[in-house]
Structure 1
């Protein structure tokens, strides 16, 4: 790359980092929607977790179709399209709130998440192409830091605009007439209209800016015409560090999303934080802000400590904090669960990197499997919701505890690279 091209690439990187911020912001708004819609529609925890099931299920369903679209239109246009789809999903919150209808909310959320899926599929590799290959990891870490900034600010924004007004309890709603109850639900549901219309406007503006800006599209690089495209998933999964890595990503995303989803309801309990849901929203910001801080700290520590060892240690600490919140109450339980965010920080990129280590032509297939494993964020929160409905929210954190223990195993042992066909590799090495 010539020096004259670098300024344009720096400008492109600056624009794309705003995309990372936006999808972090969008994802974390779910943590605000959950307690609000739970109260508005009088849902149990299992029903409420359909919010995360719908959002992260879109990753699993739409990632392959979005990848094919990316190959046809290139990176820049795919990012612009992803923003536009997300904007349409955000606009759909307006009629869903006007109805009000929980199924319509979930439909809007699926469309919104489909746009975010396109951004995930396109923006991560796009950042790696915006400069020298040797500094790709540094650029991606910078972009991911802005993603964490979005997850940190979203709870303040959502808590103020969505959870600002106190909601009535189930007993109070039961005392109201049917007409009054419907009017109340309409009023409460409509509190999400302004935030999501503002979000739609920002997303639409960004889509137009990206489309009109003279950014490199890298359409040729988006195509996968290599002979390795026919490699099967089974071949990649024969490598234990890939198989365990897929389970690790599933467990990590599931645990992180489950904890974030329950935080407001949990912290607002009388025997935990004893505060309003609006006040509890600020602690969600601490949870995600800890992940942002931990990402910088972890990046520095990894210069001297093996990533697999760091992963194992961070997972053990997260497991201990999860156990602490289950065995205590009051501020000890509250801060124990919030502090987990700090130790979540390095898990996703470290598991991902370890999961694709030394795979050669199998790397792209392993990467696809690891991205699809994000579906853990759809399944595990629903499972934790079912546990919470049965034994209570306090002890439902046993599910993230099990997840962190598996991640610790992956860091200490499961991430070791073991060749499943050493004799075959030896034969290839001996052949001329």
Structure 2
């Protein structure tokens, strides 16, 4: 395997240690993106109970927050892959950051008018930006070094996504959630002016956090514009016939990775979207305390990423994935049938054991795709639409069960069983790992 720089010099591929030194700054920059889109996703867990109040929604309607973001992944995954091929990783990342920022700034008119549809549109635009970023950054982090360590590298970068899972609930608790909750009867008893003022106050709470987030995104985009990032392209010694967008699914390990990723993202979003509600209902916590525990969940998610990255030095990635799936399925049973603090323990455990699943599935899915890595990445990003579909199904089930939040956790339980199949059987690939050229 050779490395070619922009003036055409050839060098031996560095060792893992040498590569870490040579590509430290690019890796840090890419890692920052994992934190930023982690903030967006984990603020959604705050928005769901918050906008449920502010816009007076039922459970099913509140899950449209997730649907708006993750449906954008499905719509934008192919265009995102085309952007990367046309403009490269760096320019695609800048475009993604700016689109993300536009969506964040749209929260201002949405809050000013308390229009749920406008909130959903803003979240859809955010989702479009996130799609471009994830389609660019996930494969870039995976191939920024020796292919045999791609899972460890991707899990390390994704650990900072876990950091966002801890920070976002704290931000949401301090600046978005008011702690004021009224029953339907209390709301009906309010004078119209008092009711309208309360609802507008709740809606307005989201403006400042999203203005700050949008500003940071613009500044990061400017930083990327002025920084040099090495571009990566596949290099093969033999002639390779490149399949089309759908025929790439003939790689069975990619097909199963797409299925597993669909169910994983659906499971994660189900768990976090209803975390505050189940903590209130199942463990008897108030809103702000529930958000605090969501922050602890985020800490465990982050810790799981770092610890999982360490374990991957000694355990095969598919084996660790399978073990974590079994434990996660058991914890779902505790969340469904447990009471009191045991529900919180189960949710925290889910945060820890889910932590490595997305990057591990992604890395296993793009093994040996060679020049089809971008296409395979687009499919894996498209599969994130599971985060739009499965939580809606969970919200519907909860409404059918008369607002029994715990019963809804049967959905993530089934998801972990599907991912377990991928970890045991579906990940297997016959082709050898391809070489890479770095320019």
Q: TM-score when scaled to structure 1?
A: 0.87
1:276 Cα deviation after fit? 1.7
For residues 341 and 393 of structure 2, the distance between their equivalents in structure 1, rounded to whole angstroms, comes to: 26
8 Å Cα contact 1:8/1:215 also seen in 2 = no
**Match for residue 395 of structure 2?**
385
Please report how far the alpha carbon of residue 55 of structure 1 lies from its aligned counterpart in structure 2 after TM superposition.
0.6
Residues 247 and 132 of structure 1: CA distance in aligned 2, closer, same or farther (over 3 Å): closer
Q: Which residue pairs with 1:258 in the alignment?
A: 270
**1:307 matched to 2:293:** no
Residue of structure 2 in register with 1:38 after alignment: 52
The equivalent of 1:214 in structure 2 is 227
Are positions 1:78 and 2:88 aligned together? no
Shift of 1:332: 1.2
Is 1:231 the counterpart of 2:244? The answer is: yes
Following TM superposition, by how much is the alpha carbon of 1:136 offset from its aligned partner in structure 2, in angstroms? 5.4
Runs of 5+ consecutive residues of structure 2 not aligned to the other structure:
4-10, 432-439
Q: Choose between structure 1 and 2 for higher RCO, CA contacts under 8 A separated by at least 6 residues.
A: 2
Q: How far has the Cα of 1:367 moved from its partner?
A: 3.6
Deviation for aligned residue 1:166:
1.5
User: Deviation of residue 93 (structure 1)?
Assistant: 0.3
Question: 1:410: which partner in 2?
Answer: 422
Contact 1:255 / 1:380 at 8 angstroms: preserved in 2?
yes
Q: CA RMSD in A?
A: 2.8
Match of 2:211 in 1: 197
1:297 to 299, 302, 307: 307
Query: After superposition, where does 1:6-25 map in structure 2 within 5 Å?
Result: 9-25=23-39
Shift of residue 169, structure 1, vs aligned partner? 2.7
Deviation at 1:340, TM superposition (A): 0.8
Distance in 2, Cα, partners of 1:386 & 1:176:
29
Partner secondary structure for residue 182 of structure 1: helix
More helix by share: 1
TM-aligned CA deviation for residue 306 of structure 1: 3.2
2:289 to 262, 273, 279: 279
Q: CA deviation at 1:177?
A: 3.6
Asked if the contact 1:294–1:345 (Cα under 8 Å) also holds between the matched residues in 2, the reply is: yes
1:140 Cα deviation from its structure 2 partner: 3.2
What secondary structure, in the 3-state scheme, does the structure 1 residue paired with 2:274 have? helix
Q: How much does 1:268 deviate?
A: 1.4
User: Which residues in structure 2 correspond to 1:339-418 (within 5 Å)?
Assistant: 339-357=349-367, 364-391=374-401, 392-417=404-429
The TM-score with structure 2 as length reference comes to 0.85
Alignment counterpart, residue 243 of structure 1, candidates 247, 252, 255: 255
Q: Deviations for 1:124-171, whole angstroms, at most 9, x for unmatched residues?
A: 333456566676555433321112111211110111100134133322
